A and B are shown apart, each in its own frame.
Chain A
């Protein structure tokens, strides 16, 4: 592209019109920022981006509608996790039973090292119980490494209750109750 160089007349060559123009632009911005539009700055810790749906943030454990742990300690997420961020301690043969009917067990401890986690979402994808989800948190901070290893209690608290539309296990539970079959416990 050829830009045509306009010949400047005397008045323009004095720099003064350009100076005045420049001063006007900057002054307009100043006045707008102060009195009209306000600054474009997002003051980060106080204001945050609204995260879009489907965003892959930190993985947390969720509870079902009744407030029971959904995780059944199958350890699939632990195996699939590429950076090995997840560490599950199963309850063992004589351990505590699950806090919901219809599940054989729940993890004794469930730790995610948020320093290792790469937010890939494999754990969410692989989970047969829909017990772990990538939520919208993206700014995880701590003052030391130990603090960044989130345990079961913390993960469940951060994850909250998952409002499932299908309620597969509720239906199964009703069926099992009718037939008086294991693993129903009232």
Chain B
């Protein structure tokens, strides 16, 4: 590491950030996307009294006595097969599409999901490094700005496909985004009124410690209404059931991705799951105390020598996130799809007034407490 210390600080920062970006993207986000698809398939199977993927076996690893067959039954190698399959399938571009937009749309869906990860603090410190790619002081504004871009990919896919079902999917997606983005933003306002800072690391610090000795200081307990609104909006934002209107495979064939095949389709798919992961991470950060746990002093930043604590913090964050991911998947197999007008009604006439009332109530309580 001697050569590293001799570099100028700017270059050090760039290199470290690059390492963090690569690590988060390729060691955390992409594998998680792959395995959340598997989790979705497995959990859906169990909920429907089925077995789920259990056939893909790797030549050597599956030969391990007990463990190998257990992993195969669990479908651990399924994502590899899925990935290889989507690469090998014919990438068919129909004649009637608008080619440039058609090629652009999957990328535009996927990239915002990856960009949002940048501001999420996924751990405290590891060595001297803060475990966040970009510690922006307007973190939440950034992530809202970027997340809203994700919908353009879907709308563009609908437009570019130049065919009726994808177009309907795209239109629905934009209407849905407008209905829920506002409620989502407003629900977060009350959170930041309590915290007093837009930096996500500060939000986590605010949530350290406990009230009355056992209730964690998490904002989900202080702002339950905001959490419910944010959760529902997150479902709408990520196009998950019961709000998967852009896809609506029962009425719109496949919705916005009808005309897509092979890797381009897989990109949409990955985008959906990456969005789920990012929303879970966001909810963990905003409402569930991020990487903190109010026991054993795990709610304080790790010192530069406490590598174990730093790793534990990352583990806690990932664990909390996985729980929320399971909730995402769980809800999918429980609720039928909302009708188009019901969805808009819920967004405009229920959640926006509710979020506004919540802001007002928070303001009044804060005013009375500070008087």
Interface residues of A (CB under 8 A from B): 19, 22-23, 25-27, 29-30, 32-34, 37, 39-41, 43
Interface residues of B (CB under 8 A from A): 43, 45-51, 54, 330-331, 333-335
Q: Residue among A23, A25, A32, A37 with the most chain B CB within 10 A?
A: A23
Instruction: Determine whether the beta carbon of A30 is less than 8 Å from that of B46.
Output: yes
How many angstroms between the C-alpha atoms of A56 and B301 in the bound complex?
A: 73
Contact of A33 among B49, B334, B335 (CB under 8 A): B49
Nearest CB to that of A16 among chain B residues? Answer: B228
Instruction: Determine whether the beta carbon of A29 is less than 8 Å from that of B47.
Output: yes
Contact of A39 among B45, B330, B333, B335 (CB under 8 A): B45
How many angstroms between the C-alpha atoms of A144 and B47 in the bound complex?
A: 40
- Decide: A33 near B46, CB < 8 A? Known: A39-B51, A41-B51, A43-B51: yes
How many angstroms between the C-alpha atoms of A41 and B46 in the bound complex?
A: 11
What are 16 A-B residue pairs whose CB atoms fall within 8 Å in the complex?
A19-B334, A19-B335, A22-B334, A22-B335, A23-B334, A29-B46, A29-B48, A30-B47, A32-B49, A33-B45, A33-B47, A33-B50, A39-B49, A39-B50, A40-B49, A43-B51
Instruction: Determine whether the beta carbon of A29 is less than 8 Å from that of B49.
Output: yes
Instruction: Determine whether the beta carbon of A30 is less than 8 Å from that of B43.
Output: yes
How many angstroms between the C-alpha atoms of A34 and B43 in the bound complex?
A: 10
Instruction: Determine whether the beta carbon of B47 is less than 8 Å from that of A41.
Output: no
Which 7 pairs of residues, A with B, have the shortest CB-CB distance? A22-B334, A33-B46, A41-B51, A30-B46, A39-B51, A40-B49, A26-B334
- Decide: A40 near B50, CB < 8 A? Known: A22-B335, A30-B43: yes
Besides A29-B48, A30-B43, 8 more A-B contacts (Cβ < 8 Å) are A23-B331, A23-B334, A25-B334, A32-B49, A33-B47, A34-B46, A39-B45, A41-B50
Q: Residue among A26, A37, A40 with the most chain B CB within 10 A?
A: A26
- Decide: A26 near B51, CB < 8 A? Known: A33-B46, A39-B45: no
- Residues in chain B near residue A23, CB distance under 8 A: 330-331, 334
- Residues in chain A near residue B330, CB distance under 8 A: 23, 26-27, 30
- Residues in chain A near residue B43, CB distance under 8 A: 30
- Residues in chain B near residue A19, CB distance under 8 A: 334-335
- Residues in chain B near residue A29, CB distance under 8 A: 46-49
Nearest CB to that of B332 among chain A residues? Answer: A26
- Residues in chain B near residue A34, CB distance under 8 A: 46
Instruction: Determine whether the beta carbon of B333 is less than 8 Å from that of A26.
Output: yes
- Residues in chain A near residue B49, CB distance under 8 A: 29, 32-33, 37, 39-41
How many angstroms between the C-alpha atoms of A70 and B50 in the bound complex?
A: 47
Nearest CB to that of A37 among chain B residues? Answer: B49
How many angstroms between the C-alpha atoms of A40 and B333 in the bound complex?
A: 17
How many angstroms between the C-alpha atoms of A22 and B242 in the bound complex?
A: 13
- Residues in chain A near residue B46, CB distance under 8 A: 29-30, 33-34, 39
- Residues in chain A near residue B334, CB distance under 8 A: 19, 22-23, 25-26
- Residues in chain A near residue B331, CB distance under 8 A: 23
- Residues in chain A near residue B45, CB distance under 8 A: 33, 39
Q: How far apart are B193's CB and chain A's nearest CB, in angstroms? A: 25
Q: How far apart are A133's CB and chain B's nearest CB, in angstroms? A: 35
- Residues in chain B near residue A43, CB distance under 8 A: 51, 54
How many angstroms between the C-alpha atoms of A33 and B333 in the bound complex?
A: 15
- Residues in chain B near residue A41, CB distance under 8 A: 49-51
Nearest CB to that of B54 among chain A residues? Answer: A43
How many angstroms between the C-alpha atoms of A38 and B163 in the bound complex?
A: 44
How many angstroms between the C-alpha atoms of A19 and B346 in the bound complex?
A: 15
How many angstroms between the C-alpha atoms of A39 and B47 in the bound complex?
A: 10
How many angstroms between the C-alpha atoms of A39 and B51 in the bound complex?
A: 6
Q: Residue among B43, B49, B50, B335 with the most chain A CB within 10 A?
A: B49
Q: How far apart are B17's CB and chain A's nearest CB, in angstroms? A: 41
